[in-house]
Amino acid sequence: MAQPGAPAPWPTRPLRFVVPFPAGGANEVAARQLAPELQRSLGQPIAIENRAGANGNIGSAEVAGATDGHTFLIAGLGTHVINPLLSSRLPYDPVKDFTPVCLVATLPLVLVMNPAVAQSLGVRRLTDLIHAATAQPGRLHIASGGNGTPTHLAGELFKRLTQTYMLHFPYRSTASAQQDVVAGNMDLMFDALPTALAQIRAGKLLALGVTSARRSPSLPELPTLEEAGGPALRGYEASAWTALYAPASQPPDQVARLQRDCVAALAQPALRERLTQRGMLVQGSGAAGLAALMTAETEKWARVLQLAGIKGDR
C-alpha cells in the first residue's frame, strides 16, 4: 500500500505512443525500437499508434488534449518547429501543451535519385546533379513527403543555395514519395535516411550525400552535402529529429520516471546499435536538452524558411 502523500503507482495500464505520421516513417521506426526497452522498465505494454494527417497536426493535437496519463507523442522537427513557423492556427501549442521528455535521435536526410534517371543524365556524384539541374532548369522532378515537411524544406534550401530549379511534387507521405522515386515516376528527393537505407543498400536508390554535419555511421562512405557539393553548399545541414513528449497535464513525477527510463534505455549498447544500423544518430538527452534543441531549431528553420522564400499561413 502506498504511504500517505506518496505518488500513486504509475503506470497502471498499457501506454500509447502516438506517431502522428503514416506507417513506415522514421518516427515509427524509432518508437518501435524504443518501446520494448521501456516496456521492461515500466512494467506495462506499449502500443504504437499511427494517427496521421495534416503534417502531424492531428495526432499531435490528440496527445496534447490527452488526460488519461498513459498517452504520449513520438514526433519532432515537423510538429514542434516547422508547423508552428508556418501556421498560427495549429490545434496545439508545441510549448504550452507538451512537456519534453527525451530526445531519442537525430535523423539525417539523404539526397537520393532514381538510378536509371541518374545514369541517363550522367550523374554519379552530387556535382554532376548540380550541373544537370543548372543546364536543364525544370527538367528534374523532386518529390517530398508534403509541403512544409523537412524533406521539402531540405530540397528548397538546396535549390536556393545551388541556384537550380527543379519542379517540386509534394506527396501525402515520405514513403509514397520514395515509392515513386524507386519506380522512376520521380527523379529525386530528400528522404529520411532511416527509411531510405534499405533501398540504397539494395541499389534501388542512388545516394548522393547526407544532410547532416558529419557522415552517418550507417553509410560512412557517403559524403555530406557540404563535402560533396562545393562552395555553394558550405555549411549545409538539415537533419530532422525524433523525441518523446508528454501532455502538459502529465504529473511531474511520472514525466521524471519516463525520462529516466528513456535515457537509460538509449544508453544501452544493443539499442544504440539497432538505431544506428537504421540510419539514426542516437542522442538520449533529457527534457532540458530537448527544450534547448527546440529553441535552437526554431531560430534556425525560421532563417531557412526566409531564405527559401516559404511563407505561412497554411
pLDDT tens per residue, range 76-125: 999 999 999 999 899 999 999 999 999 999 999 999 999 999 999 999 99
Confidence (pLDDT) at 6: 58
Confidence (pLDDT) at 147: 87
Domain boundary among 206, 233, 260: 233
Same domain, 134 and 206: yes
Phi-psi sector, 294: left (phi>0), alpha (psi -120 to 50), beta: alpha
3-7, 164-168, 277-281: which range is least confident on average? Answer: 3-7
Give the pLDDT confidence of 123-142 residue by residue, as tens digits.
999 999 999 999 999 999 99
- Band of the pLDDT at 25, cuts 50, 70, 90? confident
Same domain, 188 and 120: yes
> Mean pLDDT throughout 232-245?
93
On whether residue 24 sits in a domain, the answer given is yes
Whether the Cβ atoms of residue 25 and residue 57 lie closer than 8 Å to each other: no
Whether the Cβ atoms of residue 72 and residue 15 lie closer than 8 Å to each other: yes
CA geometry: angle at 298 spanning 148 and 92, to 5°? Answer: 70
Confidence (pLDDT) at 313: 67
Written as one string, the DSSP assignment of 86-100 is: H-S--SS-TTTSEEE
Confidence (pLDDT) at 2: 47
Same domain, 114 and 229: yes
Residues sharing a CB contact under 8 Å with residue 308, sequence separation 6 or more, in sequence order: 153, 156, 157, 159, 160
What is the spatial distance between Cα 141 and Cα 152, in angstroms, rounded to a whole number?
12
On whether residue 53 sits in a domain, the answer given is yes
CATH code of 68's domain: 3.40.190.150
| Helices assigned H by DSSP within the chain | 26-42, 57-64, 77, 83-86, 115-121, 126-135, 150-162, 174-183, 193-201, 225-229, 252-266, 269-277, 287-308
- Band of the pLDDT at 305, cuts 50, 70, 90? confident
> pTM of the full predicted structure?
0.88
Same domain, 139 and 223: yes
pLDDT at 252 over 90: yes
Whether the Cβ atoms of residue 113 and residue 187 lie closer than 8 Å to each other: yes
Which residues constitute the domain of residue 175? 109-233
For residue 248 the three cell numbers come to 502538459
- Which residue in 300, 302, 285 sits closest to 100, CA to CA? 285
- Domains in the chain, number: 2
Which residue has 511520472 as its cell numbers?
A: 254
On whether residue 10 sits in a domain, the answer given is no
